[in-house]
Chains A and B, each alone.
Chain A
Amino acid sequence: MAAATSSQKITVRKFQVHSNFERFAYLFMRMSGVGLLILAVGHMLIQHVLNSSANLTIEFVAAQWNSWGWKVYDILLLWLAIPHGINGLRNILEDYIHNPTTVKLINRLLALFVVATVIWATIGMALFDASKFQ
């Protein structure tokens, strides 16, 4: 049968997709994954290979964050990585924890944690005043 396949003769049907959170989360994991490939891998290479933690000083950090470019880079990384990672954790926990009430509770806590972390760290980075350290 496979041999007979030609693309024009295939009937394509359209339908209304009903969104649900799982579908959104699935797509988000993949989209953010692509973003993270550049941001996270880049970050690791720059911070941990080209520079190493052994030579890290607060002055170095200050120098980098003096530029808004780096600030935005890191903030973006933050915004993608934390929701991605926590949603990944949620996937894993939901595999093993089956009590719906517990799952709901955990999900609330995780959501709270994402929001708190993202806000806190964003403020931290955005308001970081490099001049203090130079």
Chain B
Amino acid sequence: MSSLILTIRESLRYRGRSGHVSWMAHRVSGIAILTFLVIHVWDTANAHFWPQAYAWSVAFFKYPLVAVGELVIMAAVLYHAFNGIRITILDFKPEWWMHQQRSATIVWAIFLVLFIPIAIYMFSGIVGHCSELAAHGSTCWQIPPFSDFAKYAN
């Protein structure tokens, strides 16, 4: 455990170059995606096994706060995917070693080029949703009440 804390602290403190930053981002994004994915998979399976629960989660995913999470996952998948490809290429093409610094930058560039428009688009969706909610007199910051679940379960 001490090794975990020490490693995380020193990983942040170490003044590595692009590769080090990419590595941290890759790891964090991987865990983020995994967390989401596991929930998502079990949840989706409910569509068959327990449709009521699934109906609840469909409602649940509509909350704007959850949609912000969705945006984060989107970022994570995009970055992780392209960085994963970069790692794969560098592992399989050792002789391209000298492009490592640039490749890390390119991955960030691709990520931003894709993510920024998507983020704007998705974010405007969230804002739209918020104003809809506001029209109904509820707020955007509303935390989904878990008690709803009982409603759906019936």
Determine direct contact between A and B, CB below 8 Å.
yes
| Listed stretches B13-21, B54-62, B97-105, B138-146; interface member | B54-62
Determine if A103 is an interface residue (Cβ-Cβ < 8 Å).
no
Which applies to chain A's interface (DSSP): helix, strand, loop or mixed?
helix
User: Please, which residues of chain B bring their CB within 8 A of the CB of A95?
Assistant: 7
Do A61 and B88 have beta carbons less than 8 Å apart?
A: no
| Distance in angstroms between the alpha carbons of A32 and B46 in the assembled complex | 26
Chain A residue with the shortest CB-CB distance to B49: A124
| Distance in angstroms between the alpha carbons of A120 and B7 in the assembled complex | 36
Do A41 and B45 have beta carbons less than 8 Å apart?
A: no
Most buried by B among A44, A56, A120: A44
The answer to whether A124 and B46 touch (CB under 8 A), given A41-B78, A92-B27, is: yes
Which applies to chain B's interface (DSSP): helix, strand, loop or mixed?
helix
User: Please, which residues of chain A bring their CB within 8 A of the CB of B92?
Assistant: 30
Interface size class of A (residues with CB under 8 A): 35 or more
Determine if B153 is an interface residue (Cβ-Cβ < 8 Å).
no
Q: How near does chain B come to A3, taking the closest CB pair, in angstroms?
A: 15
Do A49 and B42 have beta carbons less than 8 Å apart?
A: no
The answer to whether A37 and B84 touch (CB under 8 A), given A53-B67, A81-B37, A86-B34, is: yes
Over the window 38-74 of chain B, the binary record of Cβ atoms lying under 8 Å from chain A Cβ atoms (1 yes, 0 no) is 1001101111110100110010011000110010011
Do A58 and B58 have beta carbons less than 8 Å apart?
A: yes
Q: How near does chain B come to A66, taking the closest CB pair, in angstroms?
A: 12
The answer to whether A48 and B74 touch (CB under 8 A), given A33-B84, A36-B81, A81-B37, is: yes
Do A53 and B61 have beta carbons less than 8 Å apart?
A: yes
Determine if B77 is an interface residue (Cβ-Cβ < 8 Å).
yes
Q: Out of A85, A88, A121, which one reaches B44, CB within 8 Å?
A: A121
Q: How near does chain B come to A99, taking the closest CB pair, in angstroms?
A: 11
Q: How near does chain B come to A134, taking the closest CB pair, in angstroms?
A: 13
| Distance in angstroms between the alpha carbons of A36 and B81 in the assembled complex | 8
User: Please, which residues of chain B bring their CB within 8 A of the CB of A124?
Assistant: 44-49
Determine if B3 is an interface residue (Cβ-Cβ < 8 Å).
yes
User: Please, which residues of chain A bring their CB within 8 A of the CB of B148?
Assistant: none
Residues of B whose CB lies within 8 Å of any CB of A are 1, 3-4, 7, 27, 30-31, 33-34, 37-38, 41-42, 44-49, 51, 54-55, 58, 61-62, 66-67, 70, 73-74, 77-78, 81-82, 84-85, 87-88, 91-92, 118, 121-122, 125-126, 129
* Subset of 10 A-B contacts with CB under 8 Å: A30-B92, A48-B73, A53-B62, A54-B61, A65-B47, A85-B33, A85-B34, A89-B31, A117-B41, A117-B42
